[in-house]
Amino acid sequence: DIILSDMEPIERPWGAPGPYRFVTLLKDRALNGSNEIVPLKLMVDGVGRVFDRGISFGSHAEWAFVYEIPQETYRSFSGYIGLQSEYIEQGQVKIRIINDGEIAFEGDFDQDNPAGQVLIPNPGGRFELIGSSPEEARMKTVITWGKPKLIRE
């Protein structure tokens, strides 16, 4: 098994509004509005969950993180994705995960639906996390990917 934060994306945005202006993404931690390092935290089904592994990043108008995953190597991909807890009230993002050209997950996250679980069978090939935020929410949107894990067969 491998945690996605141990891999480098082959494509990613550079810079982002707000606290991620100079960092783009952080592995295994997040930034709050005061640029302080905080744990990765998502509100999933009304319960705050803290993750020791994962990725956090600020939102652009449109952005993509792309990974190249070896074909027929992993049985599934699992994780949690949504708005970092400190940004739930004003954050807003639309997310799609595309696995080898096929939409494998779609979700809209805001204060009413701040995060969700992702489970994708047979990840392989071009694995894309794509998202967008409306202009009024960009400075206030931080996305967290909690425990994004590729699970071997």
Q: What is the pLDDT of residues 51-98, one digit of tens each?
A: 999 998 876 678 889 999 999 999 999 999 999 888 778 888 899 999
Is beta strand 62-69 parallel, antiparallel or unpaired with respect to 125-132?
antiparallel
Contact 137, 16 (CB under 8 A): no
Query: Which helix H or strand E contains 97, and what residues bound it?
Result: strand 93-99
Within a 13 Å sphere around the CA of 153, how many CA atoms are in the beta-carbon half? 8
Q: What is the pTM of this model?
A: 0.89
The whole-angstrom separation of Cα 110 and Cα 145 is: 15
Residue 140 pLDDT more than 80? no
- Whether the per-residue pLDDT at 41 is higher than 90: the answer is yes
Torsion of CA 100, 69, 129, 150, to 10 degrees: 120
The token duo for 131 is 């998202």
What does the alpha-carbon distance between residue 16 and residue 26 come to, in Å, rounded to a whole number?
A: 12
What is the rounded distance in angstroms from the CA atom of residue 128 to the CA atom of residue 27? 17
Question: Residue 136: pLDDT above 80?
Answer: no
pLDDT of residue 21: 56
